[in-house]
Amino acid sequence: MIPLRILHFVGSRPGPAGDGARTLIAALTRQGHASAVAVPELDEVAPVPAVQVMAYGSGLFASLFGARTEFARTIATWTPDLIHVHDLELLQVALDLARRLSLSVVVSVHGRETAHTARLLRDPRIAWVLLPTESLRAYYLGKIGLGRDRATILPPGVDVAAAGSCRYRTADGQTVIGFSGSFDPSSGIERLCEAIRGLRRDLPVRGLFRPATSEDRERLESLLERTDSQGLIQSVAPEDTGFMSHIDVFADLRTDDRVSVPVLEAMACARPVVALAVGGAPELVRDGQTALLVAPDRSGTLADALRQLTDPALRRVLGEAGRLLAKERYDVAIISEACVELYRVALGDTANSNAKAESSTTYKRISETRIR
């Protein structure tokens, strides 16, 4: 098939918007498709190998003094087939460009957005809205009013082949509990710290956290100092790519419905997961098989789950099952194949609602075919 040329809008915010986008773009590039990345400023986003990065300029100054017009000319010269928006903060800019160049738009949504942003998703230039879970799709269909022929399931992908090189940690009698992500109010980081401190009274456990940003790391250090936990919980740099090889268990206590890419990464690395039985986690993992889900409002359940996973044999069973689930459902090879098929539908007859409705099950069909 003819390779595609995709312009990706990627923001600087940590999380699935950036993590999933870079993994997908790298996979598309390996498959022979051309990708360019549009960013607010060149120094705000980590580079993607072999991919051209172009800054459109942000703020009123860029709009008034023609930076956006020059950006549109540059993009027109690059001749993209369509636009993929990975960060909804950039959706308005992407839609403006799409109107100028008569391009279709695909949008990845990672959680419940503000009413204003959600309304933008009804723009007729948007061919697909990609949602990571069934619960989020139901929300956008019911509360936001998206058409069923425009909203489809496509979670972030992880590079399972690369994760296969992540070895188990050398046994030293301790259990290392890891966390990776933003330290926002919904992260549950204080609850996790409290659980680790409680377990430490009678079990050899410690924590290792990878903050999403340098600002998150400063907040963590402040929390550890305030709770006298510096010797019990340590942090690594946000860019530490070997983080998973230094932990035994991965904990994610988010209370919102955003999908945690580090949870998928942990499963790909055969690390058992502890998560709350709310939000997106119940759809990502299999309780009792790849993860232990705990009630968000019952004290002691988190510590009980972590205590169970101090057993190396149980960790190995859940971890290997998690690796298999990641390979079957979240491998970027599957996600990119489904994404390319959706791109091609968007470039075809987007007015044909029957064809669009049939294509909305693309990810499910491809992932289930891989399992057989």
SS3 for 210?
strand
The reported pLDDT for the residue numbered 61 is: 43
3-class secondary structure per residue, 264-286: HHHHHCCCCEEEECCCCHHHHCC
The reported pLDDT for the residue numbered 356 is: 61
Return the ∠ at Cα 44 (arms to 40 and 48), rounded to 5°: 95
Whether 5-157+331-371 shares its CATH topology with 160-330 is answered: yes
Cβ–Cβ under 8 Å, residues 187 and 266: no
Query: For residue 5, with 0-12 CB atoms within 10 Å meaning exposed, 13-18 middle and 19 or more buried, which class applies?
Result: middle
- What torsion do the CA atoms of 190, 279, 14, 261 make, to the nearest 10 degrees? 110
Cβ–Cβ under 8 Å, residues 266 and 176: no
Number of neighbours of residue 276 by Cβ within 10 angstroms: 21
The reported pLDDT for the residue numbered 176 is: 98
pLDDT tens for each residue of the chain, 372 residues long = 799 999 999 986 655 556 789 999 999 999 999 999 998 876 555 666 668 888 876 554 445 445 567 888 899 999 999 999 999 989 999 999 999 999 999 999 998 887 778 889 999 999 999 999 999 999 999 988 899 999 999 999 999 999 988 999 998 999 999 999 988 878 889 999 999 999 999 999 999 999 988 889 999 999 899 888 888 999 999 889 899 999 999 999 988 888 899 999 999 999 999 999 998 899 999 999 999 999 998 878 999 999 999 999 999 999 999 999 999 999 999 999 999 999 999 998 545 555 565 666 788 888 776 665
CATH class of 5-157+331-371: alpha beta
- Alpha-carbon gap, residue 196 to 253, rounded angstroms: 13
Query: DSSP string spanning 68-99?
Result: HHHHHHHHHHH--SEEEE--GGGHHHHHHHHH
Name which of 20, 34, 54 is nearest 340 in CA terms: 34
The reported pLDDT for the residue numbered 26 is: 93
Number of neighbours of residue 67 by Cβ within 10 angstroms: 16
Cβ–Cβ under 8 Å, residues 244 and 268: no
Q: Tokens 């109010």 map to which residue?
A: 185
Sign of CA dihedral 165, 169, 175, 178: negative
The reported pLDDT for the residue numbered 258 is: 85
- Alpha-carbon gap, residue 285 to 263, rounded angstroms: 9
Domain ranges of the chain: 5-157+331-371, 160-330
- Alpha-carbon gap, residue 123 to 2, rounded angstroms: 28
Name which of 314, 319, 322 is nearest 284 in CA terms: 322
The reported pLDDT for the residue numbered 65 is: 44
Cβ–Cβ under 8 Å, residues 171 and 199: no
| C-alpha pair distances (Å), 309 with each of 171, 233, 304 | 14, 18, 9
CATH placement of domain 160-330? 3.40.50.2000
Structure token pair of residue 360? 């909305």
